Amino acid sequence: MSSYIIPVFILIIVVIALFEKKNIYSLFIEGVKTGLKTVYNIFPYIFAITIIAGLINDTGILNNIKLFNIQGDILPLMLMKPLSGGASTALVVDIFNKYGPDSFNGIFASLIMASTETTLYVISIMSSKIKIKDMKLPIICGLIGDITAIILAIIITKIII
Amino acid sequence: MSIIWSLLLVICIIFSCISSDPSVVIDSITSSSKNAIENVLVIASMLIFWSGIFNILSNTSTLSKLSKKIYNIFSFLFKKDEVSEKSKEYISLNIASNILGVGNAATINSLNGIEEMQKTNKHKEKLNKSMAVFIALNTASMQIIPTSMISLRALYNSQNPEKIIIPVIVISFVSLVVSLISVNLLWRKNE
């Protein structure tokens, strides 16, 4: 089912534009140009976040923190998810390999991955478009949302397992 | 952001100097720089594609009609005088692609949307409330069906990969509501 979403979506857009007799090709080219500029502008932000996510992962700093009796592999995931989608997917794969996707850790990891966003990453690339330095409020609110999701995920995992 | 970034950097470097091999730091930076370039290439290619596709869509009159309908559902979140007609289009496209789970399409619309909202922002050096709400919508997950997670679970031989759908919807919704409420509360406190 879900594999239809994107092709159908693109098809609808092109059909609508055809009906309205728009110059589809030149509009596409124009959009690609602005897309290129956008990529150029957000690159430094992606770069900075990837470096930090890499350092956290490679120095193994998170493996040495223990909190609330949570098993070692879950905490790195909780702290990594706001920073990087790629790095946290790698952590989930580790958890699946170690405990299996239907274990407590596996379900909890799946829930965290699917119901939270890469909060800090999103904020940093969105702030690249507007030259506003003070992002305290969105960061706090985003993280409050993430913490809510983590607490709920623990409770729900205990119920459904 | 600056504080978080520099703090994490300092902690990581000090930690690796004390506990493990300090050479980890430069190895890690070398490999993550490479990763960053690869990531950007992957993200960039799809971002540029969607930027092109949405430029076609945003020039049609069907979109402005449709986006008004979508925007009306969410209009209670935003302040009228802070959102122009053009930003309404980006906001509704962003919400729609977030719900459908087309991440790169959501990204390009979030960037265009926040840029458009900045144009009507009265104090350019400060966020206005509608911008804060828009960012909060994007830092929360709105995807209805977590397709990539389900396929990852299936790949690792889960007995029931779809088990997470309803919990994910519940958790995403509650955490979205909580972060929107906290935007409102903190905003009132700031004013």
Do A111 and A157 form a contact (C-beta atoms < 8 A)?
A: yes
**Residues 96-135 of chain A whose Cβ lies under 8 A from any Cβ of chain B:** 96-97, 100-102, 106-107, 110-111, 113-117, 119-120, 122-127, 129-135
**Measured CA distances, A62 to A58, A120, A131 (Å):** 10, 18, 32
Q: What residues of B are in contact with residue A18 (Cβ under 8 Å)?
A: none
Nearest chain B residue (CA) to A130: B115
Residue-range domain boundaries for chain A? 2-160
Name the residue facing A5 among B100, B141, B174 (closest C-beta). Answer: B100
Residue B51 sits at the vertex; the CA angle it makes with B46 and B54, to the nearest 5 degrees, is 120
Residue A159 CB partners (closer than 8 Å, separation 6+): none
Count of all residues that appear for chain A in the document: 161
ipTM exceeds 0.95, yes or no: no
Residue-range domain boundaries for chain B? 32-139, 141-191
Distance (Å) from the alpha carbon of B79 to chain A's nearest alpha carbon: 17
Per-residue tens of pLDDT for chain A, all 161 residues: 567 777 888 898 899 999 888 899 999 999 999 889 888 888 888 888 888 888 887 877 776 665 555 556 788 888 888 888 878 888 888 888 888 999 988 999 999 999 999 999 899 889 888 888 888 899 999 999 999 999 999 999 989 87
Q: What residues of B are in contact with residue A108 (Cβ under 8 Å)?
A: none
**What per-residue confidence (pLDDT) applies to A66?**
57
pTM confidence score: 0.84
Do A142 and A123 form a contact (C-beta atoms < 8 A)?
A: yes
Q: What residues of A are in contact with residue B21 (Cβ under 8 Å)?
A: none
Chain B interface includes A15 (CB < 8 A): no
Do A27 and B55 form a contact (C-beta atoms < 8 A)?
A: yes
Mark yes or no for CB contact B149/A22 under 8 Å: no
**What per-residue confidence (pLDDT) applies to B26?**
85
Residue that wins the pLDDT comparison between B100 and A34: A34
Question: Rounded to whole angstroms, how far apart are CA atoms B110 and B83?
Answer: 14
Name the residue facing A120 among B4, B35, B180 (closest C-beta). Answer: B4
**What per-residue confidence (pLDDT) applies to B183?**
94
In DSSP terms, B140 is beta-bridged to A116
Once rounded to an integer, what is the mean pLDDT over residues B128-141? 93
